[in-house]
Structure 1
Amino acid sequence: MKTYLLLFMTFISFSAFAQNKSSITVSINNVSSDEGSVGYALYNKDNFMVAAPVKAAKSEIKDGKTSVTFKDIPLGNYAILCYHDKNNNGQMDFEANGMPKEAYGGSNNVMSMGPPQWEDCKFELSEEPLELEIRF
């Protein structure tokens, strides 16, 4: 009897744990050319633009469109930044004056002067899979 109870409790705990994660599908439909790739970075508040992202992905471009899916993401607040790595060098390129040479965007599509801000880009991930469209 104790074995059955232990198995039941283990099953319940795994079921509850599985519900604490979700997925985020991000698409971009206005890439200016199919040249290069698009880099995506998923951040939480603690690492936003100051440390490595929670997850990162790279996607090819076809007909000006690209998308990625981040799976098994714990529920919480996040922000996504992405850029068109036109020359495929793995980094965003800048002019001498600090202006970006390559197109970029962030979740919520807020485009302001200066670098993206956490408060502008943040969103909440709940149990329902999330689909976002980012514009360059």
Structure 2
Amino acid sequence: MNIKIKDLRSDKGTIEYLVFDNKEGYPDQPKKSIRQGSITPNEAKAGFKLEDLPSGNLALTFIHDENSNKKLDKKGIGLPDEGVGFSNNPRIFFGVPSFGRVKFKLSGAEEIIIRMKYF
């Protein structure tokens, strides 16, 4: 699967990602994900590959960790202070989109575009 990330606010820090095959641990528990990793913003914009993923339903989560502290920093009212992105690019209203809104069926060599959102 090829992934490109668009709408990054800066080239600072890293892009952290998690891949889930079910809702347990989604969206932010690495130990319950089936894949996790980190890439640079430039790699994210150019595109990168995730290989050897199982076919079936998957959900991808991304954070733009601009200060490289390995966590999603939040503003005083609980909104993310760094960028977030999800497979299917769901609209985000109040809270994290459900696993059902983010999951997609992997069946081959798809190309996925993720649009980062900043609040």
- For normalisation by structure 2, the TM-score amounts to 0.84
- In the aligned structure 2, how far is the partner of 1:42 from the partner of 1:58? 12
Structure 2 stretches lacking a partner, 5+ long: none
Judged with a 3 Å threshold, the aligned counterparts in structure 2 of structure 1 residues 67 and 83 are, in CA distance, closer, same or farther, namely farther
1:41 corresponds to which of 9, 12, 18: 18
- In the aligned structure 1, how far is the partner of 2:73 from the partner of 2:28? 17
Higher helix content, 1 or 2: 1
- In the aligned structure 2, how far is the partner of 1:42 from the partner of 1:99? 22
Residue equivalent to 2:39:
59
Residue equivalent to 1:25:
2
Residue equivalent to 2:79:
99
**SS of the residue aligned with 1:27?**
strand
Identity %: 29
Residue equivalent to 2:105:
124
Q: Are the equivalent residues in 2 in contact too, given 1:29–1:66 (CA < 8 A)?
A: no
**SS of the residue aligned with 1:65?**
helix
Q: Are the equivalent residues in 1 in contact too, given 2:4–2:44 (CA < 8 A)?
A: no
Q: Deviations over 1:58-111 (max 9, x none)?
A: 111229825332211111100101011100111111112211000111011112
- In the aligned structure 2, how far is the partner of 1:72 from the partner of 1:64? 19
Q: Are the equivalent residues in 2 in contact too, given 1:79–1:122 (CA < 8 A)?
A: yes
Q: Does 1:79 align with 2:56?
A: no
User: Partner amino acid for 1:96?
Assistant: G
